[in-house]
Amino acid sequence: MAKTVSFGILHLGTSFTVTYALTGSIAVAGAVTFIEPLANTVLHYFFDKYWDHPRAQAWRARLVRGAAWRLNRA
């Protein structure tokens, strides 16, 4: 758990630093620092929900078969 918390803090610091460097605005950097993880959390919820969907499983299976076929051709 400590590793996860440490990475979260690192992510927030990186987000703030990069956004501040690009915009020069503490307000914008602060907003982005907290809005971006919130948006990612919501997106991850739907991504995780779709991941187990039969269409997604079929797509991943086709992708793996295609990659294996290309490797065998080489």
Q: Where are the domains of the chain?
A: 2-73
Per-residue confidence (pLDDT) for residue 74, from 0 to 100: 62
The mean pLDDT value for 42-53 works out to 90
Q: In which band, very low, low, confident or very high, does the pLDDT at 67 lie, cut at 50, 70 and 90?
A: confident
Exposure on the CB side of residue 58, measured as CA atoms within 13 A: 3
In the three-class reduction of DSSP (H, G, I as helix; E, B as strand; rest coil), residue 52 is classed as coil
Q: What is the pLDDT of residue 10?
A: 93
> Crossing angle, helix 2-23 and helix 26-51, to 10 degrees?
130
Distance between CA atoms of residues 38 and 64, nearest Å = 32
**pTM surpassing 0.85?**
no
**Contacts with 2 (C-beta within 8 Å, 6 or more apart), sequence order:** none
Position 71 scores a pLDDT of 72
How does pLDDT run across 9-47, given as a tens digit for each residue? 999 999 999 999 999 999 999 999 999 988 988 999 999
